[in-house]
Structure 1
Amino acid sequence: MKKVPFLSSVYPWVIVGLLCVVGCLNYLDRMMITTMRGSIMSSIPMSESQFGLLTSLFLWVYGLLSPLAGYLADRFNRSRVIIGSLFVWSLVTWMTAYVSTFEELLLTRALMGISEACYIPAALALISDYHRGSSRSLATGIHMGGIMIGQSLGFIGGWLAEDRTWNYVFLVFGIIGIVYAILLTFSLKDRKEDTTAENAISETTSAIGLKEAIKVLFSNRGYWLALTFWGIAGVVTWMIVGWLPTYYQEHFGLTQSVAGMYATAYFHPASLFGVLVGGYLADRFSRQNPKGRILVPMIGLAIAAPAVFIAASTSVFGLAIAGFTIYAFTRTFLDANMMPILCMIVDRRYRATGYGIINMLSCIIGGIGIYAGGAVRDAHLDLSILFRVATVVLLICIFLLYRLYLTANVIEEKEA
């Protein structure tokens, strides 16, 4: 049967739309527990540190299993890995509605970390399979936008928990995810050409193990640079996101609620807009320059660095908001292009594994970035010092991107 041109050109975008919903659920299901703290603690006795452990354990399990999860997406059918991940974490979400002890709740968070770890590497790799030409960065950016929306909708958990119960929230979103996973079995497919190619080289693929994949990745200088600049950028990301409300509150005499509002009301919409613009610009640049997807994040960070420095140095509240908003907008140029950059320097067989390792580093770095803020607080130092140091870190990241720009051997791919 011949391909229908219209369907061939539209389905790659259908894939992005379908995965945007999954990405939204992925982050919503993991984030909403933090907005239901009061309701959960009044129902299940636990200390504040125990409640914090619920999120920490999830992050640790999620991060440590990300490389293995990426390998599964490289080794097996990507769409099946995605559907299986969604179904299992939604089942765990549904099961969470029936827990009655802290130990049971802790177990469900660990299980969610295991199941959710399988999603991101497989999803980004599948999007990259379908978008091989001048649409890859925008497609990735749109998917990242879906994830950001899921983060922003975390408040729904607290709202429904107050109106009903926290058990009801987990029950509803668990059922939604299970139903959506079933629907995806009929609509989400791997790229047919890739399936054919995989069958043709099945003997070679079957011989590739996780250990060999890691060996191949770490023998690639470009991958080392990508891993390093992503980790460095992650330090800044977590520091600013974690400590910006406190900075606003202390430096400008705001209440906790008002500081929190200013730290999110401008920041997150700017990030969402930035990831879309960054993807669009990178696709446009790549038409004239094969390394344009590296160049756009470099430009974005070159704008973000001085914006953070000005925001951390001013006593004018409006200027501080403007600086951090500009940072939020241009910093996400990198988010839209991380997987597309990886596709430029890493063989298709190892992309999801490569991203899984990067994802693990991001989780580890997240903890370090937030801890660094706490260490600064314990030393009675001003948070503005931390943000000025972040400017230097961003400059180092730009340098590493520049080195990758000069040395990367771009892997050519045919258009989708």
Structure 2
Amino acid sequence: MRRAWLIVGLLFPVALLNYLDRQMLATMQKSMVDDIPTITNEESWGNVLAAFKWTYAFLSPIGGFIADRFSRRRVIGFSLVAWSAVTALTSLVTTMDQLIWARAAMGISEAFYIPAALALITDFHTGSTRSFAVGVHQSGIYAGQMLGGLAGFVADADGYGWQWMFSTCGVVGIIYAVPLIAMLKNPPPNPAAVPVASPFASLHELLWNRNFLLLVAYFTLPAIAGWVIRDWGPKILRDQFSLDQGKAGMMAVFTVQVASLLGALLGGLLADRLMRKTMRGRIFASALGMILFLPALVGVGHAPSIAIAIASLAVFGLGWGFFDCNNMPILSQITRPEVRATGYGLMNMVSMIFGGLGDKGYGLLRDRGVPIDYIFGAFALVCVVSLGVVLLIRPKPAA
């Protein structure tokens, strides 16, 4: 158990850097657009955001399969070094095309991390701590997003700027990779494990699993709204309430991520406790998070004041934490350990494709004057469908 929690502790900073490097792009948008004149409208910025998501999406199943077939430890270390180098090089971009290529390279390098990391955690946490352990790891993600929320202040500060932020974060990631690779361990071999099949056999096994297909849909649908809030939230507050870049970024990002961190820890504890009473305990805990999404999304779209907008974002973040900490544990109840990272990679692929479409579509709709309340009302209806989907999943005993 000490080794199991050491794994979570070592991966916490990696998760933090993973999402810090993603989130700071959104909060430094104004500074980057001012310095890169070829970004001419919101649809163009949506293309920048989508470039990361779509490359990340298509590489995620490959990253998952490699983590299932080879050393999870090495996959994690390679991914950290690669995306940190790309982050540092992003400080040198001067055109929209260069930025798009940089974000695409970021997507490629980061695609290998999450499936391997969550699979490694569930390899070690096989009992009553699984959801909470995943929740602690996910809290590193939220901490990274919170730090990313401060990036707007750094971008505005004399002597720093968005270039400094990218280069510094990249160097920190490369340095941390050294102790990470030295201390991270794979689990002991399981003599009863079934050998990892070919990519096509693994894909066939997953796609013929009814519960897995339901989980893919459940994982994807609410993530569309989640990505729009994460990537466009600072700009939504800036436009709706005439805030400056730094304040809008801090309020949008900190509110959601503090609440998400709390939700991941509470949701993990609740799910592990419910599992003592029913095999659907993690499903019920996750469904509770989905219920919280509904008033939150309506509130973001219809907020007449900054206070209501912030309260709605907080409720959304709390629900997201309940949802996020239980996806991998639910996957662990419906698939074999030998295809677990591949399965999460496939989930990531579908979710990120639709997340990219959501980012691009939101920018396109706003350029054409579609009101925010219409867009977020549609997101709430999607979450109603998601709630029905997750309750259809019939899990097996956790492995």
Q: TM-score, normalised by structure 1?
A: 0.83
Q: What CA deviation, in whole Å up to 9, does each residue of 1:222-260 have, x standing for no partner?
A: 00100111111112323444565666677xx62133666
| 1:173 counterpart (169, 183, 186) | 169
| 1:301 aligns to 2:297 (yes or no) | no
- Residue-by-residue CA offset, 1:284-325 (whole Å, 9 max, x unaligned): 111221220011111222233245446655757645543442
Say whether 1:410 aligns with 2:396: yes
Which residue in the other structure is 2:71 paired with?
Answer: 77
Q: Does 1:255 align with 2:206?
A: no
Query: How do 1:20-31 and structure 2 match up within 5 A?
Result: 20-31=12-23
Q: Report the more deviating stretch, 110-119 or 85-94.
A: 85-94
Give the counterpart of 2:272 among 275, 283, 306: 283
Q: Which moved more, 1:110-119 or 1:215-224?
A: 110-119
Per-residue deviation, residues 43-91 of structure 1 (Å, max 9, x unmatched): 7764446766544322221111111111111111111110111122223
1:325 aligned partner, one-letter code: A
Deviations 1:241-282 (A, max 9, x none): 4565666677xx621336665534433321221111111111
Paired residues of 1:229 and 1:397 also in contact (CA < 8 A): yes
Residues 107-256 of structure 1: matches in 2 within 5 Å?
107-155=101-149, 157-160=151-154, 162-164=158-160, 166-194=162-190, 204-205=195-196, 208-241=197-230, 254-256=241-243
- 2:241–2:306 Cα contact (<8 Å) kept: no
Structure 1 residues 88 and 152 mapped into 2: Cα distance closer, same or farther (>3 Å)? same
Deviations 1:121-178 (A, max 9, x none): 0001001111111111111111111111112212555555542465544443333222
- The 8 Å contact of residues 54 and 109 in structure 1, kept in 2 or not, is answered as yes
Larger Rg, first or second structure (1 or 2): 1
The 1:289–1:28 alpha-carbon spacing in structure 2 relative to 1, beyond 3 Å, is same
Tell me: CA distance 1:379–1:97, structure 2 relative to 1, closer, same or farther (3 Å): closer
**Is contact 1:270-1:328 (8 Å) kept?**
yes
Q: Is contact 1:278–1:297 with CA below 8 Å preserved after alignment?
A: yes
CA distance in 1, matches of 2:306, 2:171: 44
Identity %: 38
CA contact (8 A) 1:231 1:365 kept: yes
Structure 2 Cα separation of the partners of residues 46 and 371 of structure 1: 17
**Structure 1 residues 11 and 371 mapped into 2: Cα distance closer, same or farther (>3 Å)?**
same
Per the alignment, residue 323 of structure 2 pairs with 334
2-structure distance, mates of 1:80, 1:46: 39
Closer, same or farther: CA 236–57 of 1 in aligned 2, 3 Å? closer
Amino acid corresponding to residue 3 of structure 2 in structure 1: Y
Contact map agreement 1:232 1:393 (CA 8 A) in 2: yes
AA aligned to 1:410 is: K
CA contact (8 A) 1:373 1:383 kept: no
Counterpart CA distance in 2 for 1:43 and 1:372 is 24
Worse overlay, 147-156 or 122-131 = 147-156
Distance (whole Å) between structure 2 residues aligned to residue 364 and residue 91 of structure 1? 24
Return closer, same or farther for 1:167/1:270 CA change in 2, 3 Å cut-off.
closer
Q: Which amino acid aligns with 1:225?
A: L
Residue matched to 1:6? none
Matched residues, number? 393
Distance change in 2, residues 1:40/1:359 (3 Å): same
Q: If the length of structure 2 is used for normalisation, what is the TM-score?
A: 0.86
Q: Gaps (5+ residues) in structure 2?
A: none
Separation in 1 of the partners of 2:398 and 2:237?
Answer: 46
Secondary structure class of the residue paired with 1:256:
coil
